[in-house]
């Protein structure tokens, strides 16, 4: 117990003294997760709209595939992205391996199924009269897309929060694609794994506390968005 308490005290000291190495991992995590969630939203929201709005052959199979990808192991995503970004891979010339944008590519793939699935569900559960009204008024496909996503904005925000929660806490992609390079691609999760393995328990606790704070803020955002959605109803 004394070991745990000592580690906790030293962890708070590291955080309040603005330890450079600790805050470097925090900054990298926030940078890469922000890039990833933006990429997931830009790609996933229109795809989710199409999956929930349009009727086409194979839609049920595609929906099942998206739902399956929700539990896709992060280490497998890391392996695939590493293979594509390595020197022997088809995208090796881009030089993204062991960089923050490279990690963001992998984490975008991680968050994409969550955005697509939750957006599609929101669109499917919307009042059908919205689509009919827009079509009657002669709205273009782009206008239908924008209006529908705006009406589903709270659900889309929930999808973004859920995806961000998974992105910020993953370790497999960050370790394999980023390489856990100090001052460069070391994130909170990879730093926790490394420092704890080295016996630097205080650093691991400090970063774990930050991760818990981020998780709390994510859950707080989910709760707030749900209340807003219920209020609008």
Q: Which CATH architecture has domain 2-232?
A: Orthogonal Bundle (1.10)
Give the other-Cβ count within 10 Å of 90's Cβ: 10
The lowest-confidence range among 91-105, 121-135, 160-174, 203-217 is 121-135
In the chain, where the domains are located: 2-232
Which runs of E-coded beta strand occur in the chain? none
3-state secondary structure of 1: coil
Task: Find tokens 């707030």 and name the residue.
Answer: 224
Residue 169: half-sphere exposure toward Cβ, Cα within 13 Å = 17
For residue 4, what pLDDT band results from cuts at 50, 70 and 90?
Answer: low
The lowest-confidence range among 1-5, 12-16, 187-191 is 1-5
Distances (CA, A) of 168 to 53, 66, 174: 30, 21, 10
Kindly state the DSSP code that residue 175 receives in the 8-state scheme.
Answer: I
**Dihedral class, residue 151 (left if φ above 0, else alpha if ψ from -120 to 50, else beta):** alpha
Select the more confidently predicted residue: 138 or 212: 212
Measure the CA–CA gap between 221 and 87, rounded to whole angstroms. 40
Measure the CA–CA gap between 215 and 146, rounded to whole angstroms. 30
Residue 175 has pLDDT above 60, yes or no: yes
For residue 106, what pLDDT band results from cuts at 50, 70 and 90?
Answer: very high
* Amino acid 35: pLDDT: 94
3-state secondary structure of 3: helix
Give the other-Cβ count within 10 Å of 50's Cβ: 18
4 CB-contact burial (10 Å; exposed 0-12 / middle 13-18 / buried 19+): exposed
**pTM across the whole model:** 0.86
């Amino acid at each position: 117990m004394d070991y745990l308490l000592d580690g906790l005290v030293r962890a708070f000291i590291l955080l309040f003294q603005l330890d450079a190495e600790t805050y470097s991992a925090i900054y990298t995590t926030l940078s890469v997760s922000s890039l990833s969630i933006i990429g997931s939203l830009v790609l996933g929201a229109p795809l989710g709209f199409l999956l929930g709005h349009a009727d086409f052959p194979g839609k049920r199979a595609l929906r099942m595939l998206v739902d399956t990808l929700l539990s896709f192991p992060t280490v497998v995503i890391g392996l695939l992205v590493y293979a594509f970004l390595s020197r022997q891979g088809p995208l090796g010339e881009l030089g993204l391996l062991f960089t923050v944008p490279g990690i963001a590519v992998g984490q975008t793939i991680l968050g994409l199924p969550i955005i697509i699935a939750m957006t599609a569900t929101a669109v499917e559960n919307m009042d059908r009269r919205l689509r009919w009204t827009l079509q009657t008024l002669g709205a273009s496909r782009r206008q239908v897309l924008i209006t529908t996503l705006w009406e589903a904005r709270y659900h889309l925000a929930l999808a973004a929060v859920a995806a961000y929660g998974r992105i910020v806490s993953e370790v497999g992609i960050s370790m394999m694609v980023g390489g856990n390079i100090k001052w460069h691609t070391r994130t909170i999760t990879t730093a926790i794994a490394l420092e704890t393995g080295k016996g630097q328990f205080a650093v691991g606790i400090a970063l774990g506390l930050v991760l818990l704070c981020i998780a709390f803020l994510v859950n707080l955002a989910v709760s707030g968005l749900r209340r807003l959605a219920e209020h609008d109803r």
